[in-house]
Amino acid sequence: MGRKDQYDRRADAARDEEAKEKKPKRKILGVEGDLIYFMTKTGQVIILNILWLVSCIPIFTIGTATTSLYYAMMKNIRRNRSYPTTEYFASFKRTFFSGSVLTLALGVWLFTLYHLLVIAADQGTETGYFLSRIYIGVMVVTAGIAIYLFPVLSRFTMKLSAMVKLSFVMAVRYFYFTVLILAGTALLAWLMFYHLSYMTILVIPGVWCYLCTFMIERALRRYMPKPDEDNQDAWYYE
């Protein structure tokens, strides 16, 4: 019986090797080649980038636009589901109200902190200096929370206060990602406005969002419930 099992294993191994040899190699320049795939994905990233820019024009929709950009970037660009514009507009419609409320709340909060910072800095005293540093620290923490807030909105259905709490926990627990994303965002913004062509705004935000998904998803999946066997559309777990 042992010899038969050994023979079967050898036969299976031989068939696997034969199948590998017969499997066609992926072409680089073919219709389904790597180059065409890369160019297609690059074009889709640019399209999503432009949609995001246009959607941000009303200001109060910045959060909704960012949520939709992240959602479409994950589901279409990385997971090859549906079409980029389809997923973008589906998310935009679904999160319009929540995203707008979060955007306005963040805007008012940051404006208030900035106003207090200016008042404290104008005092020219040690107390004012101390308070100004506190306000700057709170603004940085707020930015760290915002990094995860809109991806959380794209994935979860919960109260806005619960989203903020979860985003804060993620920002602290994955502080190394938080620092990296904050620093990268600040650096890219500085480069675009002072050193690069203004046309790069059509590409860089989308590319940076794509790169950030690899970090943010590691945090998000920590809090995502594992899909059931009957759930065939758990694309975020692929």
Per-residue pLDDT reduced to its tens digit, 91-127: 999 999 999 999 999 999 999 999 999 999 888 888 8
* Domain residue limits at 195: 33-106+142-219
- With respect to residue 207, please indicate whether it lies within any of the assigned structural domains: yes
Rounded distance, CA 98 to CA 181, Å? 23
Q: What is the pLDDT of residues 149-171, one digit of tens each?
A: 999 999 988 899 999 999 999 99
Angle between helices 204-223 and 175-194 (to 10 degrees): 170
- With respect to residue 160, please indicate whether it lies within any of the assigned structural domains: yes
Question: Tokens for 191?
Answer: 């480069």
Mean pLDDT is lowest, of 1-15, 63-77, 207-221, for 1-15
Question: What is the total count of domains within the chain?
Answer: 1
- Give the residue among 34, 28, 155, 37 at the shortest CA–CA distance from 91: 155
- With respect to residue 179, please indicate whether it lies within any of the assigned structural domains: yes
Q: Which amino acid is at 183?
A: A
pTM of the model: 0.82
Rounded distance, CA 192 to CA 184, Å? 12
Phi, psi at residue 196, to the nearest 5°?
Answer: -100, 165
Does 1 score more than 70 pLDDT?
no
